[in-house]
């Protein structure tokens, strides 16, 4: 039996957490959410408060049905909005206040159905109004159906020039929807990454390669879901640990190889604890055998797929 086969047997034998959360308060039914308070049905979110039915909202307050929002407050059904306040149905907007149905706007205030505006106030479908006229039209605009709004916005969306790559304050970086990044190649939906290649949904980290849904980490390779990881490889759903290799759902641990479901562990192989000397001797031997078996560097099977298969 190869090492990955042993690891798979161990993973299938261990109980799994229903929800992976870290340091939350009064936040039921949240998954992959950390340091949040009074949140409900929010997923992959961080340090948010009073948020409901969201996906990947970071540092947000009083937001509902939002996706990929960052440092925003009182927003509803917004996607990829940054530093926005009291906005509804906005997409790719930044530093916007009191806006509705706006796309790709920056620094706008009191706008409705606008596209591609920058530092503008009191606009309706990209047409400027006085404050009094804007407020007069607003109640009627709010009565419009989604189809009516889309019909009005469609010519603006198709005719307004758009940047080839959405993002800002990037240096020597390539991807889409990346912000404050340096030396990033093929990065997507990520913020504050230095030296990253092939990353997706990663935040405030350095030296990442082939990682997704990872934050506040450094020197990691092929990590899926986690945070606070340092010098880790081939890990899933692990947090606040260092020097992990082929680990699944390991927390607050270090120097573990092929482990799953551990907390505050050290020098473990297949969940068995060793002395430091034994661990440092055995790991190179395992890696050498995995290379001979052609398994070193391969990702392990999905536990959920295996469970479903066995169930059938």
pLDDT band at 81 (very low <50, low <70, confident <90, very high): very high
pLDDT tens digits, 12-26: 999 988 888 889 999
pLDDT tens digits, 36-53: 999 999 999 999 999 999
pLDDT tens digits, 152-182: 999 999 999 988 888 889 999 999 999 999 9
The neighbouring-strand residues paired with 223 are: 235
pLDDT score of 309 = 43
60 near 48, Cβ under 8 Å?
A: yes
pLDDT score of 306 = 45
Q: Quote the mean pLDDT of the chain.
A: 94
Q: What is the mean pLDDT of residues 141-150?
A: 95
121 near 132, Cβ under 8 Å?
A: no
**In the chain, domain spans:** 167-311
Residue 310: closest CA among 3, 8, 6, 4:
8
pLDDT tens digits, 186-245: 999 999 999 999 999 999 999 999 999 999 999 999 999 999 999 999 999 999 999 999
pLDDT score of 302 = 65
pLDDT score of 300 = 81
């Amino acid at each position: 039996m190869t090492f990955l086969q042993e690891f798979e047997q161990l993973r299938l034998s261990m109980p799994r957490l229903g929800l992976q959360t870290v340091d939350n308060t009064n936040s039921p039914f949240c998954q992959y959410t950390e340091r949040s308070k009074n949140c409900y049905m929010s997923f992959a979110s961080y340090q948010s408060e009073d948020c409901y039915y969201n996906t990947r909202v970071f540092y947000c307050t009083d937001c509902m049905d939002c996706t990929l929002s960052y440092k925003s407050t009182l927003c509803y059904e917004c996607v990829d909005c940054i530093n926005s306040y009291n906005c509804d149905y906005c997409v790719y907007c930044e530093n916007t206040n009191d806006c509705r149905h706006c796309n790709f706007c920056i620094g706008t205030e009191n706008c409705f159905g606008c596209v591609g505006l920058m530092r503008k106030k009191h606009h309706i479908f990209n047409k400027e109004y006085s404050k009094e006229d804007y407020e007069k039209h607003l109640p009627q605009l709010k009565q419009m159906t989604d189809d009516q709004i889309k019909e009005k916005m469609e010519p603006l969306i198709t005719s307004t020039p758009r940047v080839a790559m959405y993002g800002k304050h990037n240096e020597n970086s390539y991807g889409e929807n990346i912000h404050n990044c340096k030396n990033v190649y093929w990065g997507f939906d990520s913020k504050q990454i230095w030296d990253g290649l092939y990353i997706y949904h990663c935040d405030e980290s350095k030296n990442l390669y082939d990682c997704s849904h990872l934050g506040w980490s450094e020197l990691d390779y092929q990590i899926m879901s986690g945070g606070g990881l340092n010098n880790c490889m081939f890990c899933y759903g692990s947090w606040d640990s260092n020097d992990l290799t082929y680990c699944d759902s390991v927390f607050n641990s270090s120097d573990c190889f092929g482990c799953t479901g551990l907390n505050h562990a050290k020098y473990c192989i297949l969940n068995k604890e060793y002395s430091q000397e034994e661990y440092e001797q055995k790991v190179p031997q395992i890696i050498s055998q995995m290379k001979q078996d052609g398994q070193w560097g391969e990702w392990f099977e999905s536990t959920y797929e295996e469970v479903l298969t066995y169930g059938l």
